Amino acid sequence: MKIRGYVATFFLLAFAFAPSRLLGIPTPPPNYFPTLISPGAGQILYPGQRVRVEWQTSIPNPKWPSYCELELWLSLDGGSSWTLQMTPSLDPNTTFFYWTVPNTPTNAAVVEIRFGCEPGYPETFHPQTASPFVITNASGQ
């Protein structure tokens, strides 16, 4: 009986100190810090206009695992609340998409870039408050 106890204890300790890759747990993704390129700060957008929303990441040539995702959200009040999802879940290697500007006039539109690798790594929020833009109520350009 003592030997069984020792063997069981040995296996438990071995798994407790085993590297995570041996247990099938993926390594965490590197810190993700995106920067919005377009639309630029102060840019005026019009309802119905098709705009290229573009950003860059802090990591050159990222190769994200298949369980990671990216989403963009829109704030109409300078980043106090995030009520409009701009994109569905995107591949995190994506750096731009084309967006049709909604008819939601504001002088304080801000994009938030959300990145996560669920279930292992929680979603992180990256509001781009340094790049507020305008959605005007005038039609046309």
When divided into structural domains, the chain yields a total of 1
Give pLDDT, residue 90.
93
Tell me if 75 is assigned to some domain. yes
Question: Can you read off the two tokens belonging to residue 136?
Answer: 């005007």
How much is the pTM?
Answer: 0.76
Are the beta carbons of 20 and 115 closer than 8 angstroms? no
Tell me if 47 is assigned to some domain. yes
- For residue 96, the enclosing domain spans 27-135
Per residue in 104-121, pLDDT tens?
999 999 999 999 887 777
Tell me if 41 is assigned to some domain. yes
Tell me if 6 is assigned to some domain. no
Per residue in 4-49, pLDDT tens?
766 667 656 665 565 544 555 555 566 778 999 999 999 999 999 9
pLDDT level of residue 84 (50, 70, 90 thresholds): very high
Tell me if 65 is assigned to some domain. yes
Are the beta carbons of 68 and 29 closer than 8 angstroms? yes
Give pLDDT, residue 31.
76
Q: Residue 134's CB: how many other CB atoms inside 10 A?
A: 15
Tell me if 8 is assigned to some domain. no
Tell me if 98 is assigned to some domain. yes
Query: Residue range 49-74: average pLDDT?
Result: 86
The chain-wide mean pLDDT, for the chain, equals 84
CATH number at residue 99: 2.60.40
Give pLDDT, residue 48.
95
Helix (H, G, I), strand (E, B) or coil at 12: helix
Give pLDDT, residue 34.
92
Give pLDDT, residue 25.
54
Long-range contacts of 22-31 (CB under 8 A, 24+ apart): 25/120, 26/65, 26/67, 26/117, 26/120, 28/117, 28/120, 28/121, 29/64, 29/65, 29/68, 29/117, 29/121, 30/59, 30/62, 31/58
Tell me if 91 is assigned to some domain. yes
